[in-house]
Structure 1
Amino acid sequence: MNWEQFVETYYRSIFNYCQQYLANYAEAQDVTQDVFLKCYQKRDSLRDAAAERSWVYSVARNACADKRRWYKRFATMLTGLEVEGSDLPGTGLSLTLRKLILDLPTRQREIFILRHFHDFSTADVAALMGITPGTVKTQLKRAVDKLKLQLQEPTQVPSKASYRES
């Protein structure tokens, strides 16, 4: 596959992955560009064409993780910046569900996103992350259970007593 075909094949799905991972449209665009730059620079190191999809997602995963680490290091500088829901067009997810997914532990979040939004098989996720298929299944179940539990929690409605003046 030539470079143009490679980019055409993977650009949209890698961008969506980065957007879901980072929850920021502009950052996802930047990281996606970085991913394809790295892939272009390292394209000769890919020996097995069958592993191409896992390889490009691995590059994306590492780039997103690097960006997240950067955010954590500079969190105090970024405190005032909020990501608006409008920064994430076309994801089809409610803001609540998107936030709950982002609040999952890193490994569970990555597995959940790869399985449910990018249609990776359990074996593909395991190979990409360097873990066993059993671990993928366990982490995925835990993620789904956490999401279900949090989605079922009733929203706190203030009681009438809290409206009374003292």
Structure 2
Amino acid sequence: MAYSRERKASVIAKMLPPHNLSLRQLSREEGISEGTLSRWRAEARAQGKLLPDGQSGPKGWTARDKFAVVVETAALNEAELSEYCRKRGLYPEQIQTWRAACERANDWEQAASRQIAKETKGDKKRIRELERELLRKEKALAETAALMVLRKKANAIWGQSEGEDE
């Protein structure tokens, strides 16, 4: 079934903020299959429109959607950003948080390698301490074993003295 451009545009508009209707709800209201609505949303995204998946607000948005918002708002001044946020149902603080996350994303490898190096250093220190403790215990065990062997030899040579018990 072919739908008019106007109908398609009005349905897509219901997927956008402030409505943010889910595909299931929109399918029931409009009588259009979820598959068709999903295809329309994918086509609109390919054209550069921001159509988040979730109806749970910005918390349910994908990383791709958040990145798209950061790119769209990068050149906006404070007034334009506020207007953008009102239209999309967002807060400027959310966009700032997403922007910071995007900036940190490029440093992920360095941060991860620093964290791994820190953990490795701690692990190496712990291993050294455990090896030292193991060596100390092995020496104590060897000394105790040597004393027992000497005691047995002494008892064999001189016999057991009266005050000693075996």
Same fold (TM over 0.5): no
Measured against the shorter chain, the TM-score band is under 0.3
Bigger RCO (CA 8 Å, 6+ sep) = 1
Length-normalised TM-score, structure 2? 0.28
Q: Which protein shows a greater Rg?
A: 2
